[in-house]
């Protein structure tokens, strides 16, 4: 199994700017859970659909082979997030078997009681190989494939996950746009989404 490269992100000014990277042979679900639990009182006021539209607008308004500047969502700077490599077949949304353990560890983290009731964005990013508009679609399919695996195979609450594909609009290493470090999945805690009554019933938080 190839080593999985983890990037612990805290207090990011831009989503693509990660301050630390730790290579591990096996993802630690406790580390993921603790990183995603570092929530503030700030939630994300925009939806995944709005983020996808912003990425499309960036392609249309600033055409070219590469984004002239990374797309920024300043609201996300203070949200708890975690970045991990999930490998897919070339030009495909099929998750490689070498990443199954990683997906399982992500699911274990999302089942952790400290994350109960929170909502998460599953954001897919690509490198610059291929056209920008095509990469938006590819990253969306990959984010949806990971979301589906977490739900169908590991029982994560489907209402807690929203898939967003941003293509190459937030390159982690703009100077090396085809580098593998740009191919990553970002998990973002967008705040409390589900609340629970005294008898354990679940309802949408107001």
CATH number at residue 96: 3.30.1330.60
**Number of domains observed in the structure of the chain:** 1
Phi-psi region of 127 (alpha: psi -120 to 50; beta: other; left: phi over 0): beta
Cβ burial of 136 (10 Å; 0-12, 13-18, 19+) is: buried
Q: What is the pLDDT of residues 51-74, one digit of tens each?
A: 999 999 999 999 999 999 889 998
User: Can you give the pLDDT at residue 4?
Assistant: 35
191 backbone dihedrals φ, ψ, rounded to 5°: 110, 175
- For the chain, give the percent of residues with pLDDT over 70: 79
pLDDT of residue 21: 32
Q: What are the two backbone dihedrals, phi and then psi, of residue 115, each rounded to the nearest 5 degrees?
A: -110, 10
How far, in Å, CA of 190 to CA of 160, rounded? 10
Q: What is the pLDDT of residue 25?
A: 41
Burial profile 68-87: b = 16 or more Cβ within 10 angstroms, e = fewer: eebbbbeebbbbbbbbbbbb
Q: Look at residue 81 in the predicted model and tell me its pLDDT.
A: 92
Using 50 as the pLDDT threshold, list the residues of the chain that sit under it: 1-25
**Which residue segment(s) compose the domain that 90 sits in?**
4-204
Is the sign of the CA dihedral 102, 149, 97, 126 positive or negative?
A: negative
Give the pLDDT confidence score for residue 39 in this predicted structure: 66
């Amino acid at each position: 199994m190839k080593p999985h490269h983890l990037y612990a992100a805290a207090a990011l000014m831009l989503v693509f700017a990660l301050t630390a990277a730790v290579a591990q042979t096996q993802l630690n679900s406790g580390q993921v859970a603790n990183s995603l639990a570092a929530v503030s009182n700030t939630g994300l006021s925009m939806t995944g659909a709005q983020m996808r539209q912003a990425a499309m607008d960036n392609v249309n308004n600033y055409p070219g082979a590469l984004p002239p500047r990374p797309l920024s969502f300043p609201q996300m700077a203070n949200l708890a997030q975690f970045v991990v490599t999930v490998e897919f077949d070339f030009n495909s949304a099929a998750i490689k078997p070498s990443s199954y353990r990683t997906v399982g560890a992500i699911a274990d983290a999302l089942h952790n009681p400290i994350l109960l009731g929170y909502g998460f964005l599953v954001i897919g990013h690509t490198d610059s190989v291929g056209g920008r508009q095509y990469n938006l679609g590819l990253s969306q399919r990959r984010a949806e494939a990971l979301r589906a695996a977490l739900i169908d195979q590991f029982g994560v609450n489907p209402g807690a996950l929203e898939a967003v594909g941003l293509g190459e609009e937030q390159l982690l290493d703009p100077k090396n746009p085809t580098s593998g470090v740009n191919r990553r999945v970002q998990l973002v805690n967008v705040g409390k989404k589900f609340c629970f009554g005294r008898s354990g019933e679940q309802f949408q938080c107001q």
